[in-house]
Structure 1
Amino acid sequence: MRKNSVFFLGALAGTCLTLLVSGPRSEFWIAAAKAATSSDTYVQLNLLGDVFERIRADYVEKPDDSKLVEGAINGMVTSLDPHSRYMNEQAWRDMQETTHGEFGGLGIEVTMEDGLVKVVSPMDGTPAAKAGIMSGDLITYIDGDAVQGLTLEQAVNKMKGPVHTTTKLKIERKNVDKPIDVSLEREIIQVKPVSFHTDGGDIGYIRISSFNEQTEDGLKSAIADISKQIPQDKLAGYVLDLRNNPGGLLDQAVDVSGTFMPRGEVVSTRGRTPEETQRYTAKGGDITKGKKLIVLINGGSASASEIVAGALHDHKRATLIGTRSFGKGSVQTIIPLGTGNGALALTTARYFTPSGRSIQAQGITPDIEVLQDVPDEFKGRSDTKGEASMRGHLSAEGAEQTGSQAYVPPDEKNDKALGAAYDLLRGVTVKADMPPTPKTTVPN
């Protein structure tokens, strides 16, 4: 993945698209047929063309060629892993809106699992969060229509609509016998990825809920405002809350890490060959002037949030508190496929922390594990299964780890992980390596 998380794969992507759009009578197919005797790949491509032509000629009703092509692309891409996917033109526009930080909808980060839409995390302050939708919920029906059989993009599009209109979802929850019916009013979702407040006049609390194009600026603004509210000689440190943060843009994860680090590697990405390895380093310096830092993570912390936690941990810049993170350690490169053709989100590499640990299907383990007291109505559905439980996931380079608590109490007074962070910063609880001593053995 390169700057802005978008780059072109090159001729291969263009060839595949032309292969499907041109139809079996194109010059490509003629060339493929000639090469069939010498290449198993071209034999399979010829088979695909034969099936495409047979459907067009003999299906009981006249099929829509564009839908056949899109279905073939979706089938090919979704056979790879849970995070590779094809986005048609509308889905591509929707994704761009999301990364810019404003879009219409319900405010749910979702993925696909066993043919159903699974909630990764509801976004703070959105209709989904207000309605009580939780991480791990499975959406089975949208406005009375079954989700089974839809692609992820089709399901997401059904949940979108004009502002102030209503959509009804049927949800299945672990250890809840009956499906739950939820009615939500659509809103313009303005994703404000950073929120903050001060606690007791000596600690700055900063929550990052997602990594979009506004995250770095929001973080720097939050730190500046905290510095105005709390004099430096009274500031005990910062709590950076990344719990239930599903991730986002790689460059923002690098920039956020660099806000707390004077220098050093943040993350590396490693593809199929050694030549594809990329290393991303901190820039700009630690604007918190080395103040103590605690990072909160849990089972809903994924992707970009795991990169930040891993970098700050490996450099001994922060102490991690909470539960093991999700384990989404793969890189999706966004490959635009030309005007009107959408884009391909293709898994191209794995993430590695500065010390060389893979995040994939393992996650980040906190220095101090703190389990929350879960109310009875949420017991049995407060844990995430993690990346390792997803069908078709990339294998780990070590022992895979599944499942971790993802519940965050709505009232800070009952938030044990946050309380532990405050106690550690104030010296109520003593830990030998708090604050950590910056590590010099990781790449700089």
Structure 2
Amino acid sequence: MNKSVIGGFAIGTIVSALTVFALQPGNLNSIAEAADSDTYRQLNLFGDVFERVRADYVEPTDDAKLVESAINGMLTSLDPHSSYMNPKSFRDMQVQTRGEFGGLGIEVTMENGVVKVVTPIDETPASRAGLRPNDYITHIDGKPILGMTLSDAVDKMRGPVNTAVTLTIVRKGADEPFDVKLTRDIITIKSVKYHREGDIAYLRITSFNEQTGELLEEAIQTLKKQIGPAKVKGYVLDLRNNPGGLLEQAIAVSSDFVSEGEIVSTRGRHAEDTQRYNARGGDLTGGKPVIVLVNGGSASASEIVAGALQDHRRAVILGTRSFGKGSVQTIIPLGSDGALRLTTARYFTPSGHSIQAKGIVPDIQVEQNTDPKLKKRTLVTGEAELPGHLAAEDGAKEIAGSDSFVPTDKKDDKQLLYAIDLLNGVRKDAAFKSASSASAN
């Protein structure tokens, strides 16, 4: 969805005035002039405050930071998802959505002031160099990490493809720290993970970046070959704790399960902004039963997929109420000055249902046995409880989200085990039977 901004401050006021008074041409000039006058008066006020801060604040100020903070203040007053991205933040966002970058291929965290390796990604420079989980990285190209943020350390490890970087490693069992020289390569963020559960195909999508649709199609084809197309009992699509991502990828993923019809529509400020997106391609699963897992951490693009499959009766939704982020953000590049992330529309499921501040309600409600010690950390409040959130459509009742806890051990994962039992015929549920019958027709 492309959106252009002209002038920034006054246009919104002028357009609304023109719309309201379209049948009264005599009023147009006076209304536009009044809007301009009021707007420029406010801009003059901003300029006065800015100059007073620059001149009289107790310490010297950074003009660029003051302006950036003012812009962010304006945008964050709109809703929690509108914001200004400075050039570095914009580049980071582009890397994230592309799903590819020049780097080493390691998942890391920060512990005790140094970087800890969570896991090296298969077939990357890190895995080929023999890095292991729980290794500690203390220096990058001879410079100590102590004092850096995790973001700073990651930035230093990323870089142009075919360039070298040396990491100093501390490993349990090794007598001394040692250096490892690696050559950066193209790293693809694997947003789709999959494996077979007997004759059931398990697919997990962790985010929706530019690679997701293609990776999902590859995963489905691989699992069909492993299990045998005729032997596949069904598919589990795990969208739990998936924060969302690109709208176009949500449509592509939905299209892998729905052969035809609307996937989602978006409605902006004006009626002419409405857009409808239909399925493109065929159902790669051949109509086999599908169970979608969601929880309080499933947001945005995840909810588009879950809502589309639920409305088409193509899948049964299992788990707990999703997050409830039903708004669309448009990224508007600002040349060399970064980009504007602006909420421009609400999205609606095929049945015309808005999930903004309400979420997707599962067909089958299954709660996890949450560890009481983790309860406060895993509870997701949902869009409805974010300060300044966009209101639900037409004043509908707003509802908070749900727990986002997912056990690391499969034997403790009640939601996944429930889905597997349904597909294996060990457990019965009227909602699953209804969805399976609809897919078979």
Closer, same or farther: CA 76–106 of 1 in aligned 2, 3 Å: farther
Q: CA deviation at 1:46?
A: 1.3
Distance of 2:168 and 2:38 partners within structure 1: 52
1:30-429 alignment runs, 5 A limit = 39-102=37-100, 160-163=154-157, 191-200=189-198, 202-338=199-335, 340-397=336-393, 398-429=396-427
Letter in 1 for 2:4: L
Closer, same or farther: CA 273–286 of 1 in aligned 2, 3 Å: same
Q: CA deviation at 1:336?
A: 0.3
- RMSD between aligned alpha carbons? 3.1
Distance of 2:356 and 2:62 partners within structure 1: 39
Closer, same or farther: CA 302–38 of 1 in aligned 2, 3 Å: closer
Closer, same or farther: CA 15–343 of 1 in aligned 2, 3 Å: farther
Q: Secondary structure at the match of 2:373?
A: helix
Q: Would you say the 8 A contact 2:304–2:349 is kept in 1?
A: yes
Q: Would you say the 8 A contact 1:106–1:160 is kept in 2?
A: no
Q: CA deviation at 1:290?
A: 0.6
Partner residue in 1 for 2:30: none
Q: Secondary structure at the match of 1:409?
A: coil
Distance of 1:90 and 1:69 partners within structure 2: 16
Q: Secondary structure at the match of 1:380?
A: helix
Closer, same or farther: CA 336–415 of 1 in aligned 2, 3 Å: same
- TM-score normalized by structure 1? 0.74
- Paired residues in the alignment total 359
- 1:370-418 Cα offsets, whole Å, 9 max, x none, are 1111234323333211111110001112211113011111111111111
Q: Equivalent pairs: percent with the same residue?
A: 58
Q: Which one scores higher on RCO, CA 8 angstroms, separation ≥ 6? A: 1
Partner residue in 2 for 1:140: none
Q: Secondary structure at the match of 2:337?
A: coil
Distance of 2:282 and 2:379 partners within structure 1: 36
Distance of 2:422 and 2:369 partners within structure 1: 20
- 1:182-234 Cα offsets, whole Å, 9 max, x none, are xxxxx99852100111111x110000000001100110000000110112222
Distance of 1:365 and 1:124 partners within structure 2: 35
Distance of 1:226 and 1:343 partners within structure 2: 40
- 1:98-137 Cα offsets, whole Å, 9 max, x none, are 11114579979xxxxxxxxxxxxxx9989xxx99xxxxxx
Structure (1 or 2) with the larger CA radius of gyration: 2
Partner residue in 1 for 2:18: none
Distance of 2:36 and 2:197 partners within structure 1: 70
Confirm or deny that 1:10 pairs with 2:5.
yes
Distance of 1:382 and 1:50 partners within structure 2: 45
Q: CA deviation at 1:36?
A: 8.0
Q: Would you say the 8 A contact 2:9–2:39 is kept in 1?
A: no
Q: Secondary structure at the match of 2:79?
A: coil
Distance of 1:57 and 1:36 partners within structure 2: 32
Greater Cα offset, 307-316 or 408-417: 408-417
Unaligned ranges ≥5, structure 2: 12-32, 109-117, 122-132, 135-145, 158-166, 170-183
Distance of 1:371 and 1:413 partners within structure 2: 15
Closer, same or farther: CA 159–316 of 1 in aligned 2, 3 Å: farther
Greater Cα offset, 249-258 or 366-375: 366-375
Closer, same or farther: CA 376–56 of 1 in aligned 2, 3 Å: closer
Q: Would you say the 8 A contact 1:310–1:353 is kept in 2?
A: yes
Distance of 2:322 and 2:168 partners within structure 1: 35
Q: Would you say the 8 A contact 1:36–1:42 is kept in 2?
A: no
Distance of 1:362 and 1:159 partners within structure 2: 38
Closer, same or farther: CA 327–158 of 1 in aligned 2, 3 Å: farther
Closer, same or farther: CA 342–423 of 1 in aligned 2, 3 Å: same
Distance of 1:92 and 1:379 partners within structure 2: 34
Q: Secondary structure at the match of 1:162?
A: helix
Partner residue in 2 for 1:119: none
Distance of 1:144 and 1:342 partners within structure 2: 27
